[in-house]
Chains A and B, each alone.
Chain A
Amino acid sequence: MTPELAAIVGSFPDAELDSSGLDPLVRVPRDSYRALVAALAGAGCRLSDVTAVDHMASIEVVVQLLASASEQFSVHCMVHEDDPRIDTLVPVFPSAEYAEREVFDLFGVDFLGHPDPSRVLLPDHFLGHPLRKEFGLEVAPW
């Protein structure tokens, strides 16, 4: 990660930079999530993906960012499963709109301030959020 991006991350006291994995990873709590991503966008980072991972008691929203065409890193924010709300990134990255709809659709995370918080992949009358671990599949008998 470039020093200036690391400095931006460092300017948020509750964000921690983890360089132990394959790519740099920034963990940030919900309160500074959008401000941090907006600061990184201001420094020229491009959005690659917004997704989520279900960790049973909490859901981890993952934002893949690109510092340059070949350098990538991710911002992770945990939300508790009883209160799965997080700020939307659409004002910062307009391309996150449909990706956040998909995270809502499949995980049930509410994005506060999203222009169109509806399901995108599943039918509107579908009950439940399939990619959560407690949503079981009737696994085929073969």
Chain B
Amino acid sequence: MGVVDTAETPGFITTTLDKLLRWGRSRSMWPCQAGLACCSLEMMTAGSARYDFDRFGIMFRSSPRQSDVLIVPGPITRKMEPVYTRVYNQMAEPRWVIAMGSCAISGGAFADSYNVLRGADTIFPVDVYVPGCPPRPEALFYGCLRLQEKIASTSFIGSDREAIYVPPDLPPEWPEAITDPPKTCLEPEGEDDDS
């Protein structure tokens, strides 16, 4: 135990600081206002006076640059996919994603559509899944509170901070390659590197 403590060799000061930062991050989650479909109405209602997101420190931000949570309220269509990926990429780390509603979790009622992605987790990692169609504002609150617990327990000290995304392990009865777009209807897309 040396006098100087760093992130790699945490000591008393860094761990206390880390505890403070974790508490701060979790109690001021700022979601990006990127509404898609019907669930965004319930997301707005959760921000209105009866349910009131603000008392949990959750404040909607218009720009993804200023937000650290992305609540995905609705299905992501193939046309919206590059736009939404760009929104996600524009968020600075640490960032988290809440998949709200069955369309964002798995495609929902539109899972077999030709234009809907089978879940937001096919394109970026999702931290909390809030089921419902649409989930009640209380359900969204529950999801946000679980995310708060997750954030408060995520430490960036003394750990390998490189995030590696592992696509979800789908149950065997799904057809293979369900995360790939059906090859029949999309040309191979050109390199579009924007982040």
| Interface, chain A (partner B; CB < 8 A) | 122-123, 125-128, 130, 135, 137-141
Contacts and interface: CB of A to CB of B under 8 A. Distances in A.
A135 B175 CA distance: 19
B182 A138 contact: yes
B114 A137 contact: yes
Nearest to B108: A140
Chain B at the A interface: mostly helix, strand, loop or mixed? Answer: loop
A128 B186 CA distance: 9
B115 A122 contact: yes
A122 to B, nearest CB: 7
Nearest to A123: B79
Chain A at the B interface: mostly helix, strand, loop or mixed? Answer: loop
Q: B interface, how many residues as a size bin?
A: 10 to 19
B111 interface: yes
Given A126-B78, A138-B182, A141-B173, 14 more contacts: A122-B79, A123-B79, A125-B186, A126-B186, A127-B184, A127-B187, A128-B185, A130-B115, A130-B185, A135-B185, A137-B113, A137-B114, A141-B174, A141-B175
Interface string B152-195: 00000000000000000000011100000010111101000000
Interface centre among A130, A135, A138, A140, by most chain B C-beta atoms within 10 angstroms, is A140
B30 to A, nearest CB: 31
Contact of B187 (A125, A130, A135, A141): A125
B112 A139 contact: yes
A22 B137 CA distance: 44
Contacts of B78: 122-123, 126
Given A126-B78, A127-B184, A138 B112 contact: yes
B111 A140 contact: yes
Given A122-B79, A123-B78, A138-B175, A130 B184 contact: no
29 contacts: A122-B78, A122-B79, A122-B115, A123-B78, A123-B79, A125-B186, A125-B187, A125-B189, A126-B78, A126-B186, A127-B187, A128-B184, A128-B185, A130-B114, A130-B115, A130-B185, A135-B114, A135-B185, A137-B112, A137-B113, A138-B112, A138-B175, A138-B182, A140-B107, A140-B111, A140-B112, A141-B173, A141-B174, A141-B175
A127 B186 contact: yes
B114 to A, nearest CB: 5
A131 to B, nearest CB: 10
A123 B81 CA distance: 10
Q: Which 8 A-B pairs have the closest CB atoms?
A: A140-B112, A123-B79, A140-B111, A139-B112, A128-B185, A130-B114, A125-B187, A137-B112
